[in-house]
Chains A and B, each alone.
Chain A
Amino acid sequence: MSKQIFVITEHLRGKIDDVTYEMLGKGKELAAASGGELVAVLLGHNQKELANEFGAASKVIYADHEKLADFNPWMYAKIVSEIVAQQKPRVVLTAYSSMGIEVAPAVSVSQGISLTAYVSDLSIQDLKVSVVSQIYGGKMNIEAVDENESMIACVLPGSFPADAGKATGSPAVEDFAVSGLDESKIQFKKLIAPDKSDVDITQSEILVSVGRGIQSNDNLPMVEELATKLGGAVSCSRPIVDSKWMPKTRQVGKSGLKVKPKCYLALGISGAPEHIEGMKEADLVIAVNTDPKAPIFDYAHYGVVGDLFDIIPALSAKL
């Protein structure tokens, strides 16, 4: 059985995503425990120099092709599957991200290997892998063991420190021969940049952020009033954007923006891992939620179990 640990790296517009360093840091720890080597897998075009960012790994497998310049779900899944099939590593780490969510299940089915998602922690002993998943919106931890030959873990961003995986150097680069990308039924057309016409919430020092608890867009004016009085901006969690109550530019979290304000007021936000990923660096987090078990209270500095429809007007009145 292989002792290798693989990390499927991610980059967008030439920039490595932090979750890649988080996985490399964790991967290094796993490789030390398994007695195998840590291998970073990099796909791209004319981007070999990115391998130097992966000094934490002892080797980088690099697949270069003009069609891999931008992420393509079918092509990336196909190439990663081929690399995994060739090496059968004990553990493959992918991110629970827009890219990882396409690659991990595809590799699992095509290679017949086990997949565990929403992973917040994992360890390895005698090649037996213990893995913790955070599911039900972060409200439940599930511990599992994997005793298979090979497994994929789809890792929640923000679970491990990125610094542990940040080491520049010149790891050995092994080129992977790419072929068979001509038949793709999925063609990348273009990358559209974020809308810059709205308030940039990443620059706001104070964010009044609302979630599902706001119940209706009719209730947004009182939130705006509070934000104005505090000299801040209104942001929100994903369901509010999916409901079209607020624009995408205001969304905090996985598919939205990462923010680091001086103060983050989380009103009616339960704190699913996807949201926490975007706001846990805030200097001061005050959360208001009716559910005392809401995961947001595990990340907030101060918590109020209460109804935001009582708290917002009462606070506004004081300002």
Chain B
Amino acid sequence: MNIIVPIKQVPDLVEGLEIDESGKDLNREWIKLKLNEFDDHALEEALLLKEESGATVTAIAIDSQDIDKVLFTAAAKGADKIIKVTGNFGTTVTSHEAAKALANAISSMQYDLVLTGVQAVDDRDGQIAVLLANYLNVPHVSVVTGVSINGGAVSVMKEYGGGNVAEFECTPPLVLGIQAARQTPRYVPVAKVRQIMKSATLEEVAGGDVSVVAASTVQKFSFPTGGGSAQMIEGSAEEQANKIFELLKEKGIK
């Protein structure tokens, strides 16, 4: 079984975000990026399937800042092949463009499953998993928390709200949007990544035509003002804890 795992980087939200001069994008000069956590789960699930059934795992990513290292890290974790999709991409690639470039690259490959993250924090124009499935013209199941291979069929668990889960039986090829792998994504030491950079080959495939149909046009980025409702409790940790305690007492909770 061949499993392809599209991965990408997203801004690390632990760092503060800034808006650039145009007011229509993030200030990307100092931005810290990290692997989309859901893509990390997709890769983990693919590696677990590989360990169970001897699948071949290919990690693939659109050419972007520091992506080589991300792909080599995937190789260090156990991906058999790593592929960079090249093309004339701007600093921001929409989900439709990314999905189309990935579909162009993947359509010429042999594959049974495509596992990618259910969502990313920046997909303003929709989630890549289902977009990609439709550009590839194969079925999809998203918000997946369990995958098992039973001969030629693939059993998939899909989550709804309120703890409800649906089971589907699928015939590959298909695309799955992974919410969570069966276990926490594995960690790989930097030394192992460095080592694999010397031995692994990073293939390049052209992304081809990524012009897509209609889209909405971004006018403005702004920080949400929300309700701004919280009354802030100042002071030392001790004083803050005191205040919380008083509040709970006042509300009859303690």
A residues in contact (CB < 8 Å) with B: 12-13, 17, 70-74, 77, 97-99, 101-102, 104-106, 108-110, 112-118, 129, 131, 133-151, 154, 184-195, 205-206, 230-231, 239, 241-244, 248-249, 251, 254-258, 262-263, 265, 270, 284, 286-287, 291, 293, 295, 297-307, 310-311, 314-315, 317-319
Shortest A135–chain B CB gap in Å is: 5
| B247, CB-defined interface residue at 8 Å | yes
B241 to chain A: closest residue by CB? A314
B169: which A residues are within 8 A, CB to CB?
186-187, 189
Check A116 against B161 for contact (C-beta < 8 Å).
no
Q: How far is the CA of A293 from the CA of B226 in the complex (A)?
A: 11
Secondary structure of the B contact surface, majority rule? mixed
Q: How far is the CA of A105 from the CA of B138 in the complex (A)?
A: 13
- Can you spell out 10 A-B residue pairs with CB atoms less than 8 angstroms apart? A101-B143, A104-B130, A115-B126, A142-B124, A142-B221, A193-B164, A263-B248, A295-B226, A300-B229, A314-B240
Contact partner, B233, options A134, A291, A304, A307, Cβ 8 Å:
A304
Check A115 against B125 for contact (C-beta < 8 Å).
yes
Q: How far is the CA of A115 from the CA of B164 in the complex (A)?
A: 27
- Given A73-B140, A136-B11, A263-B248, residue A189 in contact with residue B232 (CB < 8 A): no
**How many of chain B's residues have a CB under 8 angstroms from any CB in A?**
88
Q: How far is the CA of A293 from the CA of B238 in the complex (A)?
A: 22
Check B168 against A186 for contact (C-beta < 8 Å).
yes
Shortest A183–chain B CB gap in Å is: 10
A293 to chain B: closest residue by CB? B16
B237: which A residues are within 8 A, CB to CB?
306-307, 310-311, 314
| B190, CB-defined interface residue at 8 Å | no
A301: which B residues are within 8 A, CB to CB?
229-231
B120 to chain A: closest residue by CB? A135
Check A254 against B227 for contact (C-beta < 8 Å).
no
Shortest A179–chain B CB gap in Å is: 18
Check A190 against B167 for contact (C-beta < 8 Å).
yes
